Amino acid sequence: MSKYVRDTVTFRHGAKIDSRIVMPPMLTFSGSEGGFATEDTIRYYSARSKAASLLITEFHYVTPTGGPCSVPGYPEQLSIQDDQHLDSIKAIATALKQDGNKAILQIHHGGREAMGRAAKGKEVLAPSALDFSFLSYPVREMTNEEIEGIIQDFGKATKRAIDAGFDGVEIHGANHYLIQQFFSATSNIRTDKWGGSLEKRMTFALEVVKEVKRVIAEHAPKDFIIGYRISPEEIHGSVVGYTYKESMQLIAEIAKYELDYISLSIWGGYDASPKGVDKSFGQLFKEVVGEETKIIVVGSVFNEADAQDAVEHHTDLIAVGRGTLIDPLFGQKIKDGQGDTIVSEISPEQVEKTSWTAGLNEVFTRADSLGLPPLPGHDSILHLHKGLFSETAAIGSGSATSGSD
């Protein structure tokens, strides 16, 4: 059966969205000390309430040891670590849902990538106490009690997302953060139940999924959405944390918990594929999860034609990151039959219409875009850089956008 970008999509637990367009999680560089949303945060999310039919927040760390993972010197990553953050996330949920689209909160622990935590002189936790050459700070191996506690914290964060009015949660198992660190053979060399064999390296991810599902079953509406985000492979030259074949085995186990969707954090475009393989990542993972669990991919979509090609050939839902940064009405224009009016290149004039946070303004007007994929038209806005934050800031091994394409 043919798929069209303007189709209504029904998730396995009953939630419906009125197109196949998704706004993926992207760090807004807007939080205050402690990870609270600011007026800048809410203004940004309010402007994107029509960006897509499924709107996913930036990553929120679930416990004090989980973050911030934002670049020191810039506004902080947001948090959902305790009930004091409820008003913060309620405001985001309200902003995103004001036009009837579904809002998803991404829940996360940074593990070794908590560079903002390190900058505050606090210890950084990881599955194993390895000397990572790309980090400027040491990490400590987590105890069994700490691991069990963090699993519970993912559940508590899910309960807060339910109470705040979100339509679902996405478990962040990608981009070199804690869940991926446990799954990776290069960052997890434990010999207890949390590491060693491939099956043991799956344990942490599966326990998080199990706990989140338990909380949803107990407290959420029947149609509450649960998703899981994964980087399909971890290969850096000759260093292999895991292959796509191994991550497909993990997803096959996760799929048994009847998730609504699996989101693939990939680089190289929505049609990217493993080296030497004819099928795309989206096609491969769809074969694993079956029809009821949807696949989301992200990657270099800036217009309706590419979005249609993605859903027709590679995925159930297409996540548009930089496209919605440039044009906050990306999804609405497609739904209105006005896809030809989408603005696909940034310019000084379009910056005025983006409602970017001050942090995003600074990031995307830097010559290096702080290590992020540059926006089309990037050179035209370099003169708008103000130097408000740390000019020596640089990104570690993780993704500063928590999933931007």
By annotation, the residues acting in catalysis are: 177
Partners of 103 in beta bridges:
55
- Single-letter amino acid, residue 248: M
Beta carbons of 170 and 216 less than 8 angstroms apart: no
In degrees rounded to 5, what are phi and psi of residue 124?
Answer: -115, 130
Whole-angstrom Cα distance, residue 372 to residue 267? 12
Q: Residues 6 or more apart from 330 whose CB is under 8 A from it?
A: 21, 51, 52, 320, 323, 324, 342
Whole-angstrom Cα distance, residue 124 to residue 388? 27
For the chain, the farthest-separated pair of C-alpha atoms sits apart, in whole angstroms, at 56
DSSP 344-369: -S--HHHHTTT---HHHHHHHTSTTG
* Three-state SS at 83: helix
